[in-house]
Structure 1
């Protein structure tokens, strides 16, 4: 008789943590995997002998201590597992319950013992499942993953709270830790700190990419479960605990009875609403609270100051048109109005609550003259509040806020109490902020400072940060679209027949001449294509949005696939055509002696409303980035444009495409080199560079721990300002829980602070030697990666057959297509595939190739080039030194270690069996297996650790804990893919495949 689910989870923990045999995949596993795929790997080189450092193995006492600390986590997992087991048995019956347990046991045996009989038994069992059983089994294992994630998140919050209650030293990743570290090293000065916060800008930018697999309904249920689970850490009576469990059981039941998948593809409107839920849940409350915490920490270090709004929010949702024809002027307008509705509703609710709370009497506490004046302008005439100036003032503020909301959004966008339709709308967020400051100043001057902290000061802070727009929306479009639009505009105007065919020099000459022209290029009565109308409509809508909601509502325009200077100047001309560029490039003259151009404000110096931001994505583009920007800065009028941007210019770096182009190691190295070259260039021109990092959820797309990622940036590249994407698939895990969301935001601030004020603290003396070696390694890694992906005949077929890429494209997980080109199945080119589903697919089959492939070959090539054993040992020693003293290299290896810990050759071998061409299967999978061995051996040589994540036991345990309920999902997915591709097509089968995609993504805790 199968054990109850709570016993299953106890075994799960023992299986994952208890023995070396569970640390998979090992050499034997890989051999079995290779044989299973009929792809025996070439013999791998023996690793250089390395003596593990003293810290490589944890002592028994440390292990026991860790187990004690993690006891509550295990209890939560057992508890949630018991609830889920009860629900499955109640909802689906004992038969399904028993099947789930039998599959789990077989998968565990296959994992632990490389048992071929277990594999055969598993195959037979999976093939024998009815469609109904398949869906139930997949859902059961998927919800294991979801509930375990909730328990882990709760434990992280619990451990941080325990640290705080114990009065422990600040933890890394907090602003308090950063300030203490700066003070200890002598790097802190009050002036430097003040400059950092006065001139800093940190902007997490939420994006919607085609890999967010969770429905909002599922996320909402999970949030409730997380909240109820947190309640169990508090002292509860027996009755309260029973009530809590009943509520949790109800939410788990609701989860089980809720459709896991969307029944239709997400629209942009859906993506907008999904993103706004994180503002309601986290950002609106936690960002003002985080500001208050930072101000308190600064005061403790001798800098009592009110911080400017250096931390703001950004968004691509509704403005990112690159490859998504569903984003138009209408969706942009919808995005900003929906955002505004959320922030106005928040302001109105907070002001209403303040009206109830601030019952301060003039007779008892008094008030300032400014407060009295504000109260006297209020429409409130109640005799009961004559001596309550704060309440009367707040009624006036509420009335003006309501009038502002009506003026900007209409009557139905927000819920408004009362009428007061004669109130004058606020002209700007600053005017609202000034009124709130009147209340704050009056209270603080009359012993009422404590009354401002709970709600009034956070509200004033929210107004500074969020304005009337909530988050700044970036526009993004591909450079080839801009070229197509201008080609048509030039042709219709009779300027040039085929602009796209011109050389780069001729394009620039024409563009600059047109920018100097006072007349528009667009003819009022000419017929234009839908593309031209659509693109110009977006910019025209942007102009109106900025007038209504403020300039911060939309202030950046990102050009994907920037390859030339003309790609950037084209967007300036499009801004000119739509009233977003002012002044004229003609108002420039060469400066004597240096050939540069000076602009003259009296002649209408040029300025653009939207900063034109290049996005450098491929390896070639990254290598050309500094050259392109140097040419841009040298253009006539650019000095004026930069000056009107506050002397700043932003550059965006793409992690996803550079990885797909050149592989993990080369992508990271070329990003590093591009950043250094850009810093040097901008420093020479006296322009402040702000880098925008297009990081994704997976390591292959720049993911990994944000704190270490920022600290490992090249010296001088983090200069108090940074923007970084928070991409669709990880937003829920990072910001769905308010405590974790606040922690993630603080981590970005702390890392930016440390990297800015101590830019050379992380620079080893041997840096030039390290960088030279990295170039050598990068060249070898890229050669190995491209040899596999782009030069192996049939590799594209192997990829499409051995991963669920085609099925992912069918899944309703985003408004954007999975390919930038036509969605014709015949177009099977890796070049045309978006980098995000590319990485998503490798994660599903448990190879996660984008996070490691090529590294092993690079290290092997470097070591094998040694003329003798002595030189080889010197080379190994240099690699040891690099990982110990160079944060860039250390972070690179740490991220790769995490990816390898999630990979599994035995599971991947089952996906390889889906490839119909046996010769191709053997060739490609054999090369992947061989490279996996080279990579793990290289990592062991460099770090001294033979097991994965030896330096991060908590993460290692977390990953291993997932395998017993992640593996069955992979095995089920393979079986379902086999049926689907054999011609069995029905809605239930497709649903089963899509459910496995969802569950595996949840188990890995990242997707694309």
Structure 2
């Protein structure tokens, strides 16, 4: 096979406008990875594959840049000319390219973060915790700001919603490629190390090319649990305490590490993985208990290794660092309980009493993991107390840097993760509770579903007994529509444990999802807090109450514009009610990754919330591809946490609350006009006769359900007769695959047109954070859509009236967004995002054309679909998801 020339290899990447605008280092990375992929396609693909990929690539770039009908038709003809086998290969080639471009972009972000760390003041970013603390101190005084800092809480909750289109094997290959790119970047030009890194990059890209991009079967809930553990093991276990350390270093200056930290651990992890049974029959009590066990195993193993590593470094002698009386007493207690361990510690740490104690503490952590009852800790608080004795002894002996250095990292990890790692939350639908409760009250034989509903309460009690009450105690009720829906949980728990069993400690959390439920929320809350079980729990927790808001179903219910306005109003009313009642409220935001499900930058969304609705506490769901994008790489994870926590701290600053309060009052007539107009337009589409069937025809909605993304079914029933039958994720996913992204923008153009006053709207965009967030998110959603491709998907249906409605609203929305945001084109005010979209769009277009061909073929086949065309469709779905970088 002839060697690929450098020019030919670079052709795969292209030299379009967006590529030329890349930073030099990133452009170099993209060209390197593209050239290596080109070599692999020549070496490992079938004859002529590289040339076919190149033909389609050039054609889609031409069509993207000149926007002529003929250029687009030429690209479509090329896609139509491929055999189905060749189309498979081309789709895989473009998908691998997206993985590599995404990797290069992530590498550039890490590079920028490291360059920032090299500056004289690496914490001077305007959206960092340190800068937020400085701003808050200027407004309310340093002492008050410090109290706010110590009361902070950021609580991401990882979910198993099926939106991660990549296989874990693909993700692992990408991670290995990322490490090799870092090695290549760090090696000298023309050196042996660089040649070695390039050779290994070729090997890894060849592996990526040869790895089947689609899972062979749906993952089980336990598979999903283990996938989340990878993020903890590789990133979060060390990244979170590093965030604490960075903030403390900045605030304490030269005294950092030499005295007790100012920062208290402000991150708590939550998880629905293995606990969310709403619509997922595969999540049983057995799965939930196994999820808790797996998580505990991972965190205890991490704590064990950390304690062992620290013990080896604390080699302070008794002569230079005398021990406290408390440490001596601790040693005696530990040695009496573990004679063999004491003998080994005495041998390994002769004359080093602090090290000896830490070695015995390590053995106790291991005993906790292996369930050795004689030595195991009963709870993390006892471990924290023992570590505190070691820390205090070192500090009192004049060794504060030993006390508050690496040892402090371990204390932070225990405080953050406990023995459970993440707080496991159970979720179930209110209708399931109602059926179960009716059976329990009637007596007699219980159905299998009701038996499982009751069993979960016993399972929660067992998890709490083994890992502590923090391990599992939140119970979320989906589609809460009345106070009875919440009271039902407490009644079911009593049925489950009987008169002599142990009731689990439960915080029952309402989830308000539909437009009507959001409006009814304040009244439901006012009623439920009078319920005896709720009142007792509020008294136990110091009047702490958590309320969850659903972004997905509300958007599917009334459209994205009205849903955003309704969510804002619900938060304002609930927060005002909580303030009046003296309730410490935490609003839990059920956000997805896509813009139609509350996605978009979290920090700007936080700063746009109503007064009192954040108050130093921010909790949200993180799912699918978002988990790995935000938390998969340590430097990016730390930066994301820094930005979100900074916004959480600043959200309750007097200036921010006053700005949101004033804007909401001033632009209330605008909000009212937009709400009414957008809802009417949305209903005109979704309430049209035959809409659900038409939607299933013009998007790959049915085929999305065939993708083995997650364990949960894609819909609630056997068929989709109406939108109520369809889950929010495939609703969003299908529109994004069709390059329409309707769930993220539909109705905004009509809403802005209804206001009509461009000067007023420009003023609102500048002064009203909520509108600015909505418009910026819509701009991103529209930038990832494509009118010409959208038209071809809509032509798959036989409803030109609905197709014209969608296309007219898309054009109108695009026109108004550009006029209000300025700059002449979408994302002109966000050049980095604009560049990222432009760099990918022509290549996404190529996959969309292949997907359209597969869809047309499948739509024209009676009976069972040809397997090879169905596989092409699923391959293209995976590739488009990688190119757009969000799915559900």
Question: TM-score, normalized by length of structure 1?
Answer: 0.83
Contact preservation (8 Å) 2:19, 2:27: no
Compared CA separation, residues 10 and 88, structure 1 to 2 (3 A): closer
Q: 1:393 aligns with which of 344, 348, 357?
A: 357
Distance in 2 between residues matched to 1:158 and 1:3, nearest whole Å: 26
Match runs of 1:217-232 below 5 Å: 217-232=169-184
Larger-gyration structure (1/2)? 1
Contact preservation (8 Å) 2:184, 2:193: no
Contact preservation (8 Å) 1:572, 1:581: no
Distance in 1 between residues matched to 2:136 and 2:198, nearest whole Å: 46
Compared CA separation, residues 947 and 353, structure 1 to 2 (3 A): same
**Runs of 4+ deviating beyond 6 Å:** 301-304, 580-583
Q: 1:1000 aligns with which of 876, 880, 884?
A: 880
Q: 1:928 aligns with which of 795, 799, 806?
A: 806
CA deviation string 1:251-304 (max 9, x = no partner) = 212211222111001110111011111001111001111112222333359997
Aligned partner of 2:384 in structure 1 is 433
1:139 deviation in Å?
A: 0.9
Q: 1:569 aligns with which of 479, 487, 512?
A: 487
Distance in 2 between residues matched to 1:834 and 1:95, nearest whole Å: 42
Distance in 2 between residues matched to 1:17 and 1:840, nearest whole Å: 28
Compared CA separation, residues 944 and 764, structure 1 to 2 (3 A): farther
Q: 1:835 aligns with which of 728, 750, 755?
A: 728
Aligned partner of 1:686 in structure 2 is 582
* Structure 1 stretch displaced more, 467-476 or 165-174: 165-174
Report the 3-state secondary structure (helix = DSSP H, G, I; strand = E; otherwise coil) of the residue aligned with 2:508: strand
Match runs of 1:408-419 below 5 Å: none
Match runs of 1:306-385 below 5 Å: 306-376=262-332, 377-378=334-335, 379-382=341-344, 383=347, 385=349
1:311 deviation in Å?
A: 1.4
Q: 2:11 aligns with which of 8, 13, 16?
A: 8
Match runs of 1:534-549 below 5 Å: 534-549=452-467
Aligned partner of 2:823 in structure 1 is 945
Distance in 1 between residues matched to 2:712 and 2:497, nearest whole Å: 29
Q: 1:708 aligns with which of 598, 604, 612?
A: 604
Report the 3-state secondary structure (helix = DSSP H, G, I; strand = E; otherwise coil) of the residue aligned with 2:139: coil
Aligned partner of 1:62 in structure 2 is none
Contact preservation (8 Å) 1:361, 1:389: yes
Report the 3-state secondary structure (helix = DSSP H, G, I; strand = E; otherwise coil) of the residue aligned with 1:474: strand
1:111 deviation in Å?
A: 2.4
The structure with higher relative contact order (CA 8 Å, sep 6+) is 1
Aligned partner of 2:744 in structure 1 is 851
Distance in 2 between residues matched to 1:765 and 1:566, nearest whole Å: 37
Aligned partner of 1:908 in structure 2 is 790
Aligned partner of 1:260 in structure 2 is 213
Distance in 1 between residues matched to 2:42 and 2:19, nearest whole Å: 28
Distance in 2 between residues matched to 1:277 and 1:763, nearest whole Å: 39
Compared CA separation, residues 264 and 755, structure 1 to 2 (3 A): same
Report the 3-state secondary structure (helix = DSSP H, G, I; strand = E; otherwise coil) of the residue aligned with 1:310: coil
1:854 deviation in Å?
A: 0.5
Distance in 2 between residues matched to 1:658 and 1:965, nearest whole Å: 33
* Structure 1 stretch displaced more, 898-907 or 111-120: 111-120
Contact preservation (8 Å) 2:460, 2:473: no
1:309 deviation in Å?
A: 3.3
* 1:746 and 2:624 correspond: no
Q: 1:527 aligns with which of 442, 445, 458?
A: 445
Distance in 1 between residues matched to 2:468 and 2:53, nearest whole Å: 56
Aligned partner of 1:799 in structure 2 is 695
* 1:697 and 2:659 correspond: no
Compared CA separation, residues 748 and 397, structure 1 to 2 (3 A): same
Aligned partner of 2:95 in structure 1 is 142
Report the 3-state secondary structure (helix = DSSP H, G, I; strand = E; otherwise coil) of the residue aligned with 1:760: helix
* Structure 1 stretch displaced more, 952-961 or 750-759: 750-759
1:305 deviation in Å?
A: 4.3
Contact preservation (8 Å) 1:2, 1:102: no
Compared CA separation, residues 484 and 204, structure 1 to 2 (3 A): same
Q: 1:459 aligns with which of 410, 422, 441?
A: 410
Compared CA separation, residues 969 and 422, structure 1 to 2 (3 A): closer
* Structure 1 stretch displaced more, 556-565 or 235-244: 235-244
Report the 3-state secondary structure (helix = DSSP H, G, I; strand = E; otherwise coil) of the residue aligned with 2:186: coil
- Aligned length, in residue pairs: 869
1:734 deviation in Å?
A: 1.0
1:389 deviation in Å?
A: 2.0
Compared CA separation, residues 703 and 664, structure 1 to 2 (3 A): same
Compared CA separation, residues 365 and 578, structure 1 to 2 (3 A): same
Compared CA separation, residues 957 and 5, structure 1 to 2 (3 A): farther
Report the 3-state secondary structure (helix = DSSP H, G, I; strand = E; otherwise coil) of the residue aligned with 2:265: coil
Structure 1: gaps (5+ residues): 19-66, 408-420, 493-525, 584-605, 864-874
Aligned partner of 2:860 in structure 1 is 982
Compared CA separation, residues 878 and 261, structure 1 to 2 (3 A): same
1:427 deviation in Å?
A: 1.6
Distance in 2 between residues matched to 1:961 and 1:794, nearest whole Å: 38
CA deviation string 1:591-617 (max 9, x = no partner) = xxxxxxxxxxxxxxx997211111110
Contact preservation (8 Å) 2:158, 2:271: yes
Aligned partner of 2:151 in structure 1 is 199
Report the 3-state secondary structure (helix = DSSP H, G, I; strand = E; otherwise coil) of the residue aligned with 1:714: coil
* 1:490 and 2:441 correspond: yes
Report the 3-state secondary structure (helix = DSSP H, G, I; strand = E; otherwise coil) of the residue aligned with 1:477: strand
Q: 1:823 aligns with which of 718, 734, 745?
A: 718
Q: 1:189 aligns with which of 125, 134, 141?
A: 141
Match runs of 1:135-174 below 5 Å: 135-167=88-120, 170-174=124-128
1:5 deviation in Å?
A: 5.9
Contact preservation (8 Å) 1:213, 1:998: yes
Compared CA separation, residues 980 and 889, structure 1 to 2 (3 A): same
Contact preservation (8 Å) 1:16, 1:963: no
Contact preservation (8 Å) 1:902, 1:959: yes
CA deviation string 1:878-926 (max 9, x = no partner) = 21211111111111111111111111111112212322x2xx1x21121
1:527 deviation in Å?
A: 2.2
Report the 3-state secondary structure (helix = DSSP H, G, I; strand = E; otherwise coil) of the residue aligned with 2:711: coil
Report the 3-state secondary structure (helix = DSSP H, G, I; strand = E; otherwise coil) of the residue aligned with 2:545: strand
* 1:296 and 2:254 correspond: no
Aligned partner of 1:776 in structure 2 is 673
Aligned partner of 1:472 in structure 2 is 423
Compared CA separation, residues 166 and 194, structure 1 to 2 (3 A): closer
Q: 1:786 aligns with which of 650, 668, 683?
A: 683
Report the 3-state secondary structure (helix = DSSP H, G, I; strand = E; otherwise coil) of the residue aligned with 1:722: strand
Distance in 2 between residues matched to 1:711 and 1:607, nearest whole Å: 39
Compared CA separation, residues 844 and 487, structure 1 to 2 (3 A): same
1:847 deviation in Å?
A: 0.6
Distance in 1 between residues matched to 2:58 and 2:857, nearest whole Å: 24
Q: 1:96 aligns with which of 49, 53, 71?
A: 49
Distance in 2 between residues matched to 1:201 and 1:555, nearest whole Å: 18
Match runs of 1:275-294 below 5 Å: 275-294=228-247
Compared CA separation, residues 229 and 17, structure 1 to 2 (3 A): closer
Distance in 1 between residues matched to 2:393 and 2:839, nearest whole Å: 56
Contact preservation (8 Å) 2:793, 2:852: yes
Compared CA separation, residues 980 and 491, structure 1 to 2 (3 A): same
CA deviation string 1:697-756 (max 9, x = no partner) = 011111100110100111221111121001223111111111111111122211100002
1:423 deviation in Å?
A: 4.9
Contact preservation (8 Å) 1:543, 1:580: no
Aligned partner of 2:338 in structure 1 is none
Contact preservation (8 Å) 2:464, 2:504: no
Aligned partner of 1:593 in structure 2 is none
Question: TM-score, normalized by length of structure 2?
Answer: 0.94
Distance in 1 between residues matched to 2:663 and 2:835, nearest whole Å: 35
Distance in 1 between residues matched to 2:106 and 2:497, nearest whole Å: 48
Contact preservation (8 Å) 1:580, 1:609: no
* 1:70 and 2:23 correspond: yes
